[in-house]
Copies of this chain bind each other. A is one copy, B any other.
């Protein structure tokens, strides 16, 4: 009888960003986003936890090989986000405000095609140790 288990892999990246809505006035941006709207960017050590749920393979004892999962995260996310400016360097945020909420959905969409459709996927993203987000919701 097969057993469903969730496995989690944590990775991290360092990036700069700035919160800004170009359709608002500077005053409105400042009022809503405060210091996060400062023009020259700030940054974070983002911690990313990728959760994959599926059946244990009886041959390997794995749901997914953690080294394979780590390689996928590195190729699809870290290679494009790490040591970058999310607003300036990452195409997905050209017209999308890089809040933690929007980043976590973008990361899910980047990883989903590389994970077997028999496996479900959930992403948790720490912007700071005290502020974090999760998608999809459970």
Contacts and interface: CB of A to CB of B under 8 A. Distances in A.
Contact of A16 (B34, B41, B128, B138): B41
Contacts of A104: 5
Task: State how many copies of this chain the complex holds.
Answer: 6
Mostly, the A contact residues are mixed
A5 B135 CA distance: 5
A124 B114 CA distance: 25
Contact of A36 (B83, B128, B131): B83
Contacts of A42: 14-16, 43, 82-85
A61 B131 contact: no
B14 A99 contact: no
A45 interface: yes
17 contacts: A5-B101, A7-B133, A8-B132, A9-B131, A11-B130, A14-B43, A19-B61, A35-B83, A38-B85, A40-B89, A42-B43, A42-B85, A43-B43, A44-B44, A45-B45, A60-B97, A61-B101
B56 A5 contact: no
Interface in A13-72: 14-17, 19, 21, 32-36, 38, 40-45, 53, 56, 59-63, 65-67
